[in-house]
Chains A and B, each alone.
Chain A
């Protein structure tokens, strides 16, 4: 029995146009990609579209992946976040704001699968003071700039910067 291909071997096969390799990559990372899209978009249909687009991006640009610069999981996760945020921003430009800012709606949905190790940092985010967590959530998961956050929350720009900085410093401290 052949051992499972490594991440690098899988990416090389995708570069070579091997659709089965792309689907194996999906088997490994489809859940985290979909999870990121779902968390940002809060909409299963749009999350499905984004997930497909992430893997089509990989299909077309796999040669840009470089292990020296990060893992495939990191790469896929960041592409997922980018595309999901792009989707949100397009919705906002069209006046189809579907993300009310109430923090309750950003909380994990019941029945979600959790892995405590992976979610340690995310768990710490939930424990930050509400105003710090809110600013970080709006920036990172909803795609607002600091100026937009200040406008939406009707706060001085400096206050928003401080909240994000304080929150991030706490999270960073927990990693050390």
Chain B
């Protein structure tokens, strides 16, 4: 637990996002309950904001707009009409200024990311990995137990977190789940369990035991709800990892 003086010393560093996550959290919690420190953090937050907005302006390439359009167009038809449920306040009173800056500052510290629905973050991460030439990737295909099923496993080579994207798997009974097995030198590490939606699709965050560069193959089996310590049924879908750049 940091003292008040130690917090004061960390506030300028926090405004620049130059502290550890633990320190940032402690400063944030302290400032939430201490108007003096909250105000100091807000002041430095203004400076940090100016440093971001003041960088030299560069013209983005024209292809960026069309690339963005291509990415959002397919998703548009799947979006729900949130606008009918959501109204943003139009006012902005001066009394809200301190809270505003603290919020913007917290955004700078990544707080938005911590409070965001994980599925959205995962979608962005999957899109990044799919574009990346440095990621390890495995194209996976269904066995005779799910012959139409296809998918992909993606991860940064040194990361222990990766992603599985799969489609056309059978919907399982409530007491069963799919379980992912990450294979290295004959050893099978559980990467997590999942279920599929009504269309047989899923996007799953996988937790490896070691860096994904160490894994050679991946397989998915059907297991009892809660998962198994090792596979207890035949593989439903699987494939081999391809090293980056190939």
Contacts and interface: CB of A to CB of B under 8 A. Distances in A.
Interface of A: 8, 11-13, 15-19, 22-23, 26-27, 30-36, 38-39, 44, 47-49, 51-53, 55-57, 59-61, 63-70, 73-75, 77-82, 85, 90, 93-94, 108-109, 112-115, 118-123, 125, 136, 139-141, 143-147, 149, 161, 164-165, 168-169, 171-172, 175
B96 interface: yes
B52 A36 contact: yes
A65 B87 CA distance: 11
17 contacts: A12-B83, A16-B81, A17-B76, A17-B83, A30-B60, A31-B57, A51-B60, A59-B75, A61-B120, A70-B107, A75-B107, A122-B54, A141-B51, A144-B18, A161-B9, A161-B13, A172-B46
A164 B18 contact: yes
A22 B20 CA distance: 33
Contacts of B115: 64
Given A144-B18, A172-B43, A68 B89 contact: yes
Interface residues of B, number: 74
B198 interface: no
A104 to B, nearest CB: 14
Contacts of A169: 12
Interface of B: 9, 12-13, 15-20, 43-44, 46-61, 64-65, 67-69, 71-73, 75-76, 79-84, 86-92, 96, 99-101, 103-104, 107-108, 110, 112-113, 115-117, 120, 123-124, 127-128, 131, 134, 156-158
Contacts of B64: 26, 30, 34, 48, 51-52
Contacts, number: 241
Nearest to A69: B103
**Secondary structure dominating the interface of A:** helix
A82 B108 contact: yes
A140 B51 contact: yes
A44 B62 CA distance: 13
B55 A35 contact: yes
Contacts of B53: 32, 73-74, 77, 118
Given A64-B116, A75-B107, 19 more contacts: A17-B83, A23-B65, A26-B65, A31-B60, A35-B55, A36-B55, A48-B60, A60-B120, A66-B103, A68-B100, A77-B52, A93-B158, A94-B134, A109-B56, A145-B20, A149-B18, A165-B12, A168-B47, A172-B46
Contacts of A8: 88, 90
Contacts of B49: 74, 77-78
Contacts of A32: 53, 57
The 7 A-B pairs at the shortest CB distance, nearest first, are namely: A17-B79, A16-B83, A122-B54, A139-B18, A121-B50, A69-B103, A34-B60
A55 B68 CA distance: 8
Given A22-B68, A52-B68, A164-B18, A34 B88 contact: no
A53 B116 contact: no
Given A52-B71, A56-B124, A145-B19, A13 B58 contact: no
